[in-house]
Amino acid sequence: MQWHGLKLPVIFLAFVCGLALAFGGQWGYQEFTFQKPLNKVLAENNLVKDFKVEEKENRSVVQVTLSGNEGNLMTAYQELNQLTSQVMGKKPFVLEIVSNPDPSLEQAYYESHFVIYQAQVAGNFPEVARKVEETAQKYGAEGKVYVDEHNLYIQISEPDGHYLNKIIPRYGGQDQIATLQGGGPVAQGN
């Protein structure tokens, strides 16, 4: 079949091959530049029990389950964020630390969250630590609070193995996300 002297099957085949090459090249670039090196770094890290990487809204979402909840959430997050940043370079990502909460831990966090978010603005971190520890004890859990220049880290855990990790940015909000790179102030804990 011809159209204005051109063979349509040849044009169609060339178009399909071009699309396959473009999408295959994009997949290969993602796979070998980011995915495989990130998988290797996270799989070899003693802090990581499990991880998952997804592409959402032009950024990678790296969800990490920590191997033990008895350590310092802040130092674990900082180390994982640094390793992820080295692999990802300028490609934007969000590092999420996964939790395993039960209703009592969620209630303990809920009862503390007003003071936590007030500290985001006012900087009254000793009050946050006191409130989180008191509320966690009320529910038979242990509460810890860590602070660095970027985030406020809330770690509440029970002896039965349930735990809740929250990483709350100290500055800015959701409207700042688009301008940030890496897992800094955009980080989350679930």
Q: What are phi and psi of 77, to 5 degrees?
A: -65, -45
What angle, 0 to 180 degrees and rounded to 10, lies between the N-to-C axes of helices 36-43 and 73-88? Answer: 150
What contacts 68, CB < 8 A, 6 or more positions away? Answer: 49
Residue 44 scores a pLDDT above 80: yes
Residue 173 scores a pLDDT above 50: no
Instruction: Tell which wins on pLDDT, 81 or 120.
Output: 81
Q: What is the pLDDT of residue 134?
A: 95
Q: How far is CA 104 from the centre of its chain?
A: 24
Instruction: Tell which wins on pLDDT, 178 or 72.
Output: 72
Instruction: Tell which wins on pLDDT, 186 or 34.
Output: 34
Top mean pLDDT of 85-89, 90-94, 112-116 is at: 112-116
What contacts 115, CB < 8 A, 6 or more positions away? Answer: 124, 127, 128, 131, 132
pLDDT tier for residue 67 given thresholds of 50, 70 and 90: confident
Q: What secondary structure letter does DSSP report for 168?
A: E
Tell me the helices (H) and strands (E) count for the chain, helix number first. 5, 9
Task: State the pTM of this model.
Answer: 0.71
The 10 Å CB-count burial string (b at 16+, else e) for 109-124 is bebbbebbeebbeeee
Q: Which of 26-30, 80-84, 97-101, 157-161 has the lowest mean pLDDT?
A: 26-30
Q: What is the pLDDT of residue 175?
A: 37
Q: How far is CA 76 from the centre of its chain?
A: 12
* Mean of pLDDT over the chain: 79
